[in-house]
Structure 1
């Protein structure tokens, strides 16, 4: 009905316009006849016709239909009229060569041909610009690679053209710790790094493979006529070329990557689902730090759990859900407990106590590792102040992440926190892993130098499992080496492990460094380390990780015996060898012991906090952003090489 009324309205408009033009033509023709006959024109008829010729178009404009976009011409319809006119003009010019034509005719024909040529030139330019804009719309302006739009179009075509037994693979790549580089060194360095990464990935691909930057630090590769094995080989080549350092504006950077692979039609029946499942596989590689992972059915559920944990962890920061446990370090020469290491745990509202291996990688991926570090550091220094106030002179060690070493303002922040708690810089030791030093060596060394100048101790954690060389140790302002636990735990079965421990101790002393050995779980290991001159030891044999109340009691008992412990009888059962029932019994015992020992609670609370607890009828409220020290059983530790345990 609407189309009929629209057509009727358009018909009336054209009739009115036609009537106006006819009236105008009649009035002018009648005037010409009257004047030619020598009569005087009368105003009645002529005026009426002229008025009608003006009113009709006005009425037509008032009745004009609603504007609609003009129909687009395509194909030969675009050039039909210019082509006909150019053909007629050329015919006239050819005819003019055979017979005499008026000069005006020849000139008009020539002008028409020239106009057609000019229009053809303009059309060529427009078509060229249109083609360029089409390419630019599908190209990433930073790297020159295909963008998300262009990649999705090619992926969709690959899906449509893949039939029978043929398959194709999709690789999704995300750079590790790129956000830290971008935030610390600036977007200009980040952009330059992305450009170099794109070039290296392209060099590792097969001819014909499509490489795209989907956005941020996320890249994608389409491997046509490829199965899972071919995708794995290409992914390994990509990781190999990315392993070499990048030189960006004079700054040497090391950047890793996580790659997820999915194969069509084995893992998905359409392009959109294939991209989702490659993303799931990529995050599995990032979480497990395996480099490359292929999609596994059912992994989507784990991806949803991961996203839920990230959001829960983001909400947990600053709310007291994060807890700090401590593990003592024992001086093997004197038997004194003069230091502890701070170990973070997460008291999840529904999942219970989580170890750092379950949430620290998520914090790194989501970009709030620095917030986590500051929160743990605040709590550890607060606890250290309480120990000092109770007469327990111990130092506390806190692990750092790569983002902290890239932050030039971090030393000033540490200095302010030490002053705020009234602690000497010697009461704090910051532990770094060899891997974290590889991100930006120059900036990391500068930040560590400023921290060391404050008087803060610097320890290289998990030594022997990363990338550091002896020359690198000479460049860094460190004063402590922590030998990874994997070496001491092999001493009983492998004489080469004992040789490595002995040589590392000698090396550390030659470099004027103190050495700490982790993972000490037997009296034999303690005797061997003492014989080779090791300075400090840490492990379950000497003291399990536990909440502040439990560790305070350990420190008090050691202080009651002149500050030493008997290294031959300080046996503790390793948590890793206990059954779940025994672990639960130990947790219950720890809680009961903590409740009975009022002296331990006095050491972990200051008077002002106690008054606050009495006013609220419960536990003393924590400072905003602080981490609670709740008496719970020790949580699990992270694998070797992790910056947080």
Structure 2
């Protein structure tokens, strides 16, 4: 498992370091003590061997002194000289009992036995000992081992050799063990016979059974041993050549003190390690405390909590880091407050912005608080910016904010949604209180706005509603308040209160915007055709293509509903492409059927700004084999006035190709006579508002008469639309109008219905 905590890592490092040092020292001491115990054990065995040798030498000297006492005895020498065997034996027995010897042998100088306690030939021929020093050796006699010494018997010449020996048994071995501190074993290596030993029966049996590979067996049983062949000159003396004297000791017992020392050191090491761990824990905690504090502070900063200061009172680097961290916290807190303020407030006016207002409304709704929202906008504020500059506009917005702050009660919140829109939110307000506020605001905002000794007159429109009665979410509240403000602007009043159903039109427009792209892609639109007739003869001259849309959910959608929305959403060019293609396809079919009809297609203001318009309609007509002269492109007067220069240039290009140009809805826009003179037009269409009541309203007749005269003077053909009665047609005939269209003749029809209508109309005309 990966350790992530710094304190745990530090503790682990300290503990591991201390443990490594202790382990290294423990291994070193273990090796040293083990080696030292081996050396000590070896030296102790060597010392035991030397002590044994010295004890044997002392015993040999004692034996020699006892033998010399016997050999210097006059009676003993006389008995040997006279060969008095009984006297010799008596002397040997008495002397042996007195000095405690177990073996006595007297031999002639030639090696013949004179008297002996054991019937054994012990010595080689006398020729080998005549000049030899007196020696103490170990010999075996009848499965027993003896330490012997041989001395000459002189009277005064050599008359005999006397050999005295002490028996070597288990008691002797135990005694030697007590004196040498090592177990001693006398073993015949060849036969495995143990003559004497200080070992217990189990170890005695083990040695006897493994005499041939004794060293390996002893090592396997953790027994340290030295093996000595004490009879170093076995060739000159008839002693046991295979006799081994084994000095041994149990390694565990011999090294017990070292093992105790090692265990003590292990205990000391463990205690030291525990102490080091505790010390490391304390040290790691002391070191990690400021880091932990800084980490906690960093987490709080990451979570957006800047309230608690970072204070670590130390004079070291951690203290300096804490001071730097505290400075960073204060700086971040200040910048956070600035960011939050900028996020929730309008930088220009300092008022709460849309984000704050939405949060305020959401909180009020969630806490089930009721209240009112008043939304105001400045009428034609864009014109103020255009005429007087952005700086003046910004300063006026700041002045509006200040005046609103001063005008509204303290229990109302004032916000700036952006642009020229301001909003007031009042919690727990009644309808009379809101009405009083509206009256107060109307009076206050109607006062002049003085800026650098210049007075500006600003008009305001307001919409207000109650929440959550009128709407139960912030977006709906603000949207419906905006609808009310726009309604106030259209009605030219200061304020309009929300009533149920006011936003249905908005929702319908929203659905139209969402459905229009798919309707164009899936070709769910239709073209209807309304006939255009000669005003004087009633002959059908052509048709005007009119777009129709019937949606499953929206029902019938009028062109004046979706055309402006198509322009706003950028779908108008795709719509124009489809209309031109479908209309020209139908015109081509009619021409192939022998119906020589002209076709009028409506263009929008954005179509005139489309750089590919001329190429598109020209190619579309050419692909279908249609002459542009049969095609009239209608544009409204207001569409031309959006950008007159570009519109005139685009229309001139179309006219040069051969298309006819018609100015639609003439008289409802802002075109001047000078601009009309410049327009590259062929037709002038009189708006239905002047035609519908032309037979009953003299003023309308006067306007139409003057317009027809003006158009004819400018070489323009006049077209009157919206004819619903025969009386209107008759007046237009008298006034000299060229072309007419309207419901009096036919409403817009689908292609098949139009063909049926045309056939019936022409049949009736021939019979009429």
Aligned pairs (5 A) from 1:188-203: 202=397
Residue equivalent to 1:382: 585
**2:678 is aligned with 1:450:** no
Q: Distance in 1 between matches of 2:492 and 2:657?
A: 34
Is the 8 Å Cα contact of residues 463 and 483 (structure 2) preserved in structure 1? no
Give the 3 Å change call, closer, same or farther, for CA 318–79 of structure 1 in structure 2: closer
Residue equivalent to 1:537: 740
Is the 8 Å Cα contact of residues 232 and 292 (structure 1) preserved in structure 2? no
Residue equivalent to 1:187: none
Deviations 1:272-329 (A, max 9, x none): 5413534666899999999997643245666555544444443222434321111111
Gaps of 5+ in 1: 1-8, 28-42, 86-107, 179-193, 238-258, 570-645
Q: 1:493 aligns with which of 689, 696, 708?
A: 696
Between 305-314 and 71-80, report the one with greater CA deviation.
71-80
Deviation at 1:143, TM superposition (A): 12
Q: Distance in 2 between matches of 1:523 and 1:477?
A: 32
Deviation at 1:519, TM superposition (A): 1.5
Deviation at 1:488, TM superposition (A): 1.8
Residue equivalent to 2:728: 525
Is the 8 Å Cα contact of residues 287 and 361 (structure 1) preserved in structure 2? no
Q: 1:212 aligns with which of 389, 412, 417?
A: 417
Q: Distance in 2 between matches of 1:472 and 1:343?
A: 27
Q: Distance in 2 between matches of 1:448 and 1:297?
A: 46
Give the 3 Å change call, closer, same or farther, for CA 287–461 of structure 1 in structure 2: farther
Residue equivalent to 2:343: 137
Residue equivalent to 2:355: 149
Deviations 1:42-101 (A, max 9, x none): x9979976995699679999xx99x9763459788527568x99xxxxxxxxxxxxxxxx
**2:417 is aligned with 1:221:** no
**2:595 is aligned with 1:392:** yes
Q: TM-score, normalised by structure 1?
A: 0.57
Deviation at 1:466, TM superposition (A): 2.2
**2:631 is aligned with 1:428:** yes
Deviation at 1:487, TM superposition (A): 1.1
Q: Distance in 2 between matches of 1:453 and 1:370?
A: 22
Deviations 1:404-425 (A, max 9, x none): 1222222222122112222111
Is the 8 Å Cα contact of residues 262 and 274 (structure 1) preserved in structure 2? no
Q: Distance in 1 between matches of 2:633 and 2:496?
A: 33
Between 282-291 and 292-301, report the one with greater CA deviation.
282-291
Q: 2:711 aligns with which of 501, 508, 519?
A: 508
The structure whose Rg is larger is 2
Deviations 1:111-167 (A, max 9, x none): x99x98x99988876565444433443468999997643453466689899999x84
Q: Distance in 2 between matches of 1:360 and 1:384?
A: 23
Deviations 1:431-464 (A, max 9, x none): 2222333433343333333322322222121111
Give the 3 Å change call, closer, same or farther, for CA 203–436 of structure 1 in structure 2: farther
Give the 3 Å change call, closer, same or farther, for CA 507–152 of structure 1 in structure 2: same
Higher-RCO chain (CA-CA 8 Å, sequence separation at least 6): 1
Deviations 1:174-215 (A, max 9, x none): 99xx9xxxxxxxxxxxxxxx98998699489563363334xx
Q: Distance in 2 between matches of 1:205 and 1:55?
A: 70
Is the 8 Å Cα contact of residues 169 and 222 (structure 1) preserved in structure 2? yes
Tell me the SS of whatever aligns to 1:435. helix
**2:400 is aligned with 1:169:** no
Give the 3 Å change call, closer, same or farther, for CA 204–51 of structure 1 in structure 2: closer
**2:299 is aligned with 1:70:** yes
Deviation at 1:537, TM superposition (A): 1.1
Tell me the SS of whatever aligns to 1:520. coil
Deviation at 1:555, TM superposition (A): 4.2
Deviation at 1:387, TM superposition (A): 1.4
Between 395-404 and 128-137, report the one with greater CA deviation.
128-137
Aligned pairs (5 A) from 1:288-307: 295-299=498-502, 306-307=509-510
Is the 8 Å Cα contact of residues 145 and 212 (structure 1) preserved in structure 2? no
Tell me the SS of whatever aligns to 2:640. helix
**2:494 is aligned with 1:263:** no
Deviation at 1:479, TM superposition (A): 2.2
Gaps of 5+ in 2: 23-264, 383-388, 405-413, 427-433, 447-460
Give the 3 Å change call, closer, same or farther, for CA 140–446 of structure 1 in structure 2: farther
Aligned pairs (5 A) from 1:358-377: 359-364=562-567, 366-377=569-580
Deviation at 1:535, TM superposition (A): 1.4
Higher strand share: 2
Q: Distance in 2 between matches of 1:341 and 1:296?
A: 40
Residue equivalent to 1:582: none
Q: Distance in 2 between matches of 1:224 and 1:448?
A: 51
**2:575 is aligned with 1:344:** no
Is the 8 Å Cα contact of residues 346 and 352 (structure 2) preserved in structure 1? yes
**2:585 is aligned with 1:417:** no
Give the 3 Å change call, closer, same or farther, for CA 205–19 of structure 1 in structure 2: same
Q: Distance in 1 between matches of 2:742 and 2:364?
A: 56
Q: Distance in 2 between matches of 1:331 and 1:150?
A: 64
**2:520 is aligned with 1:324:** no
Tell me the SS of whatever aligns to 1:70. helix
Between 129-138 and 410-419, report the one with greater CA deviation.
129-138
Is the 8 Å Cα contact of residues 372 and 464 (structure 2) preserved in structure 1? no
RMSD: 5.8
**2:671 is aligned with 1:465:** no
Give the 3 Å change call, closer, same or farther, for CA 77–341 of structure 1 in structure 2: closer
Deviation at 1:341, TM superposition (A): 0.6
Tell me the SS of whatever aligns to 1:402. coil
Aligned pairs (5 A) from 1:395-410: 395-410=598-613
Give the 3 Å change call, closer, same or farther, for CA 76–332 of structure 1 in structure 2: closer
Tell me the SS of whatever aligns to 2:531. strand
